[in-house]
């Protein structure tokens, strides 16, 4: 059987990224481009299929859907995770929906074909009525799907020739290991149906150029401008930083966890050096120590934040190409996942992840109700982002608009992301795509356009 690399090696890419700082508008709504992604991108990449706390006990299962595909993820008796295509080998009926626990395996609800927890067919009603070639042992088992576990999540890939998961997620995987993301657990889980293309949705979150206009509450002049506005006032600096942390916490319902905000508030009377750089460094080091100590004292598996700082690993935004993101800050993290539903419709999920002492983790999280993007229950910061996205998607259809014009210095990640997609769509082999993955999987905001090697 041909590998996916071989199958797509001759595909042309419509609306390709001919210039790295220009993105053709058709990439965000053209049906043919969307179908090409469905055939040549999504089956070749690692997808975050579920968080492990969704299947906490042996024989728990959950369904993961993307495009027209459905995958069953099952916790085995030895607490590993296996995955299968969710289709009975008789006439294709999905054997499960949603999630649950299977004590004795899976039973097709249509005709009663049975499968063990290992995916092997265990019973065919009236088997002797079938021609022998239609019920060959092994040929009627559920089709296995490649599955690996990392970072507190189970990931799937339909391409058996793709590199291992960890290799595909570097350098994000190693840095997030240092953050101990595998110890994070779901505090809440929200979902939104966005009337926009999946790439457009992602691109609203991967640059800071929009912050001044879209999120004015995050622009706190005293946070960084005190050194330029007369004598440095350490008290004003501390209050400004605490205000920023509180805004991040309340504006995202947890981008900075409320526990960490309270820890910062408990330090507001700290004595700091008079020189600005020394004062800021002392404050950051003291806050890092306090957050680390508070969580370790109560039994959390918590990294040393100052050690992360010293090793240059304190970046706050990581992409796991193409659709998963982790944003760690202090003790906790926000995570995003984007899934295309149609050329101009996307399911975006947001998790608040935090740490708990062993034995005090919350129960299996409830699957989220899917809110519309204008639902009043959204926290302020997502609400501001969601207000722009539908207007942008509609604006792309303007007859006189041809392409996005990217700032090479401020929106370079969008260029890197889009050109990596083209690498998949053109059928480049995985070994040529790995350098591009390493360019997009971890970055500071405002990362410039990078040479991807193709």
pLDDT digits (tens, 9 = 90+) for 194-211: 999 999 999 999 988 888
Identify the band that residue 220 occupies on the pLDDT scale cut at 50, 70 and 90. low
pLDDT band, very low/low/confident/very high, at 223 (cuts 50, 70, 90)? very low
More reliable by pLDDT, 229 or 17: 17
Q: How far apart are the first and last CA of the chain?
A: 27
For tokens 């926000």, the residue is 334
Domain edge (last residue) among 123, 157, 191: 157
Percent pLDDT > 70 in the chain is 94
In this prediction, residue 224 carries a pLDDT of 47
**pTM exceeding 0.85:** yes
Please choose, from the candidates 136, 141, 158, 144, the residue with its C-alpha nearest in 3D space to the C-alpha of residue 88: 141
Q: Which residue has the higher pLDDT, 359 or 230?
A: 359
Higher pLDDT, 316 or 227: 316
Question: What is the CATH number for 140?
Answer: 2.102.10.10
Claim to verify: residue 76 and residue 21 sit in the same structural domain: no
Distance CA 313, CA 437 (A): 18
Q: What's the rounded mean pLDDT across residues 338-363?
A: 96
* CA 110 vs CA 89, 95, 120, 258: distances in Å: 12, 9, 18, 49
pLDDT given for residue 4 in this prediction: 47
Overall domain count for the chain:
3
Residues 132 and 257 in one domain: no
pLDDT at 274: 86
**Average pLDDT of the residues in 326-348:** 97
pLDDT exceeds cutoff 60 at 292 = yes
The answer on 336 and 419 residing in a single domain is yes
Closest by alpha carbon to 48, among 429, 331, 266, 351? 351
* pLDDT at position 358 over 70: yes
Express as a percent the part of the chain with pLDDT over 90: 84
Same domain (yes/no): 204, 340: yes
Tally of CB atoms within 10 A around 347:
18
> The domain containing residue 222 runs over which residues?
211-310
Average pLDDT over residues 323-340: 97
Residue partners of 352: CB distance under 8 A and separation at least 6:
186, 187, 188, 189, 253, 254, 257, 332, 334
Checking if the pLDDT of 90 tops 90, the result is yes
Mean pLDDT of all residues in 219-245? 74
Q: Whose structure tokens read 């706050």? A: 316
How far apart CA 195 and CA 447 sit, in angstroms, is 27
pLDDT of residue 260 exceeding 90: yes
Give per-residue pLDDT as tens, 155-191: 999 999 999 999 999 999 999 999 999 999 999 999 9
Same domain, 259 and 344: no
pLDDT of residue 222 exceeding 80: no
What average pLDDT does the chain have?
93
To which residue do tokens 């792309």 refer?
A: 396
Span 367-391, average pLDDT: 94
Residue that is last in its domain, among 295, 310, 325 = 310
């Amino acid at each position: 059987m041909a590998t996916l690399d071989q199958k797509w090696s001759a595909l042309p890419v419509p609306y390709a990224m001919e210039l790295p700082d220009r993105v053709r508008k058709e990439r965000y709504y053209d049906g043919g481009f969307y179908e090409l992604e469905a055939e040549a991108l999504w089956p070749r990449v690692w997808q975050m299929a579920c968080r492990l706390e969704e299947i906490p006990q042996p024989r728990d299962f959950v369904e993961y859907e993307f495009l027209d595909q459905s995958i069953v993820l099952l916790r085995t008796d030895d607490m590993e995770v296996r995955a299968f295509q969710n289709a009975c080998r008789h006439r294709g009926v999905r054997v499960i929906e949603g999630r649950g626990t299977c004590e004795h395996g899976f039973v097709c609800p249509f005709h009663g074909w049975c499968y063990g927890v290992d995916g092997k067919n265990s019973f065919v009603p009236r088997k002797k009525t079938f021609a022998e070639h239609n019920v060959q042992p092994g040929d009627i088992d559920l089709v296995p799907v490649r599955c690996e576990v990392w970072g507190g999540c189970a990931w799937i890939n339909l391409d058996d020739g793709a590199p291992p998961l960890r290799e595909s997620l570097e350098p994000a995987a190693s840095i997030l290991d240092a953050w101990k993301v595998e110890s994070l657990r779901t505090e809440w889980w929200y979902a939104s149906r966005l009337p926009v293309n999946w790439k457009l949705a992602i691109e609203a979150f991967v640059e800071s150029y929009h912050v001044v206009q879209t999120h004015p509450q995050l622009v706190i002049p005293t946070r960084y401008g005190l050194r330029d506005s007369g004598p440095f006032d350490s008290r004003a600096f501390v209050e400004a930083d605490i205000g920023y942390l509180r805004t991040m916490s309340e504006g995202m319902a947890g981008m900075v966890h409320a526990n960490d905000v309270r820890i910062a508030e408990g330090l507001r009377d700290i004595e700091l050096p008079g020189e600005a750089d020394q004062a800021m460094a002392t404050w950051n080091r003291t806050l890092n120590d306090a957050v680390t100590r508070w969580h370790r004292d109560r039994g959390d598996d918590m990294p040393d934040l100052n050690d992360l700082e010293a090793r240059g690993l304190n970046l706050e935004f990581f992409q796991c190409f193409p659709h998963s993101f982790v944003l760690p800050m202090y003790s906790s993290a926000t995570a995003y996942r984007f899934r295309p539903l149609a050329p101009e419709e996307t399911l975006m999920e947001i998790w608040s992840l935090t740490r708990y002492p062993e034995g005090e983790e919350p129960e299996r999280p409830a699957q989220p109700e899917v809110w519309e993007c204008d639902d009043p229950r959204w926290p302020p910061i997502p609400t501001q982002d969601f207000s722009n996205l539908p207007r942008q998607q509609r604006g792309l259809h303007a007859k006189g608009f041809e392409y996005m014009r990217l700032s090479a210095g401020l929106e370079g990640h969008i260029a890197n992301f889009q050109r990596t997609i083209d690498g998949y769509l053109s059928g480049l082999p995985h070994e040529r795509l790995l350098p591009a993955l390493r360019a997009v999987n971890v970055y500071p905001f405002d990362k410039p356009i990078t040479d991807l090697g193709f």
